């Protein structure tokens, strides 16, 4: 799904890769609900992606963000903790953590933390005194992701 919750070309590609055995089962690909993913299912999905048919599944609820994002100095590392998203029926696939140092650009420091993980220890802090800020988003099934949740800034010396 794209950021608006609509089917994307990525959804169609995932279905095609699953059909030829390159990816694991794509849970929404069985359009007609008969327990088998057929060429007809794939054609219907592809037509929906390009706007020729209605998307057969409805649209998912908004992707909830994490709660209580905190950063703590634990020299020589920084510990980032958070609470799981609440009140969602969507399946969490992973968490992504990005870091900003001294107001510079954002760098992903952990791209695929498991769905039950609720902390990340940043072991790649820089020598000296720097200001660190973290942002985190939840990745859900169907390529859907939450908006970023941002931590406050932490001045940290290593």
Ranges of each domain in the chain: 9-49, 67-157
Model confidence over 118-130: pLDDT tens digits? 999 999 999 999 9
Alpha carbon distance 121, 63 (integer Å)? 25
CATH superfamily of this structure's domain 67-157: Immunoglobulins (2.60.40.10)
Of the pLDDT bands very low, low, confident and very high (cuts 50, 70, 90), residue 47 is confident
pLDDT digits (tens, 9 = 90+) for 56-66: 555 455 678 89
Instruction: Decide: pTM greater than 0.85.
Output: no
Taking a C-beta distance cutoff of 8 angstroms, is the pair 151, 81 a contact?
no
Per-residue confidence (pLDDT) for residue 31, from 0 to 100: 52
CB 135 within 8 Å of CB 91: no
> Residue 50: pLDDT band by 50, 70, 90 thresholds?
low
């Amino acid at each position: 799904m794209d950021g608006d919750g609509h089917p994307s070309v990525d959804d169609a590609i995932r279905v095609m890769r699953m059909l030829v055995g390159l990816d694991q089962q794509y849970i929404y690909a069985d359009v007609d609900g008969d327990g088998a993913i057929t060429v007809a299912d794939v054609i219907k999905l592809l037509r929906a992606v390009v706007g020729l048919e209605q998307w057969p599944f409805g649209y998912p609820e908004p992707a909830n963000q994490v709660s209580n994002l905190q950063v703590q100095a634990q020299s020589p590392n920084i510990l980032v903790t958070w609470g799981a998203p609440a009140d969602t029926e969507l399946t969490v696939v992973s968490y992504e953590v990005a870091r900003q140092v001294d107001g510079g650009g954002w760098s992903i420091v952990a791209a695929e933390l498991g769905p039950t993980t609720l902390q990340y220890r940043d072991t790649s802090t820089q020598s000296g005194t720097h200001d660190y800020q973290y942002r985190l988003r939840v990745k859900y099934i169907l390529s859907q992701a939450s908006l970023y949740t941002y931590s406050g800034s932490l001045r940290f010396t290593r």
